[in-house]
Amino acid sequence: MRAALVERAAEMLARREPVTLRALVEGAGASTMAVYTHFGGMPGLWSAVRQEGFTRLTARLATVPATDDPVRDLAALGAAYVANALAVPALYRAMFDTAADLEDPAAAAAPFAALVACAARAREGGRFAADSDPEAVATRLWAAGHGLTMLVLTGVLPAESLEGHAPAVAAALFVAAGDDPERAHRSVRAGWATGTPSR
């Protein structure tokens, strides 16, 4: 029942239906108490839904293959991250509604950890400066991608601006981390195409 409720909530989010307690349990053939026995209330349900969002994101990022070009891989991870957000926009927004009360905070940190590991590889491989901070690079890439994504999801920026700006910002950050500008742009172009689905 637990999993069915979370899944149905995610479906309702994807279908842009308002996720209300009664509408949720009705379609699941349950009653309102099911949510309270399993999640302790709607906030608990939302925590589980956000957790599910991070789980799906982690799974999607895991499909990005690691090549011998870590900078390209960073761009590919960024593209996959953005693609996931665009695929399930309401779920993505719910994920970042608040950072509190996540059931498994470690699982939520997995996507970020993947970025950090990739940035560390770029440093060890000599692409980034020896004194560059992989965690800082990952944080900046993540924050920039998140901001761009959020502005698109809320309708402030048109969807096309993601294609145009995200790779440029990523390349700028990689150059700042020590990569050669020309190489950075090549790697980002290749990586972005890898992480972006079916075009």
Quote the least distance from Cβ 33 to DNA, whole Å. 4
168 binds, options its own copies, DNA, none, Cβ within 5 to 8 A by partner type: its own copies
99 binds, options its own copies, DNA, none, Cβ within 5 to 8 A by partner type: its own copies
**Cβ–Cβ under 8 Å, residues 111 and 95:** no
Interface with DNA, residue 23, by CB under 7 A: yes
Q: Which region, judged by CB under 7 A, interacts with DNA, from 37-45, 89-97, 111-119, 138-146?
A: 37-45
> How many of the chain's residues bind DNA (CB under 7 A)?
21
Interface with DNA, residue 105, by CB under 7 A: no
176 binds, options its own copies, DNA, none, Cβ within 5 to 8 A by partner type: its own copies
Using alpha carbons, list the distances in angstroms from residue 68 to 54, 65, 71, 183: 27, 10, 9, 14
158 binds, options DNA, its own copies, none, Cβ within 5 to 8 A by partner type: none
Interface with DNA, residue 29, by CB under 7 A: yes
**Cβ–Cβ under 8 Å, residues 110 and 54:** yes
Quote the least distance from Cβ 24 to its own copies, whole Å. 22
Q: What is the DSSP string of the chain?
A: -HHHHHHHHHHHHHTT----HHHHHHHTT--HHHHHHHHSSHHHHHHHHHHHHHHHHHHHHHTSPP-S-HHHHHHHHHHHHHHHHHHSHHHHHHHTS--S--S-HHHHHHHHHHHHHHHHHHHHTTSS-TT--HHHHHHHHHHHHHHHHHHHHTTSS-THHHHHHHHHHHHHHHHHTT--HHHHHHHHHHHHHHHS---
Interface with DNA, residue 36, by CB under 7 A: yes
186 binds, options its own copies, DNA, none, Cβ within 5 to 8 A by partner type: none
**Residue 153, amino acid:** L
Interface with DNA, residue 38, by CB under 7 A: yes
Give the interface with its own copies as residue ranges (CB under 8 A).
96-100, 136, 139-140, 142-151, 154-157, 161, 164-165, 168-169, 171-173, 175-176
Q: Which region, judged by CB under 7 A, interacts with DNA, from 36-44, 114-122, 158-166, 189-197?
A: 36-44
Which residues lie near DNA (CB under 7 A)?
Answer: 1, 18-23, 25, 29-38, 41-43
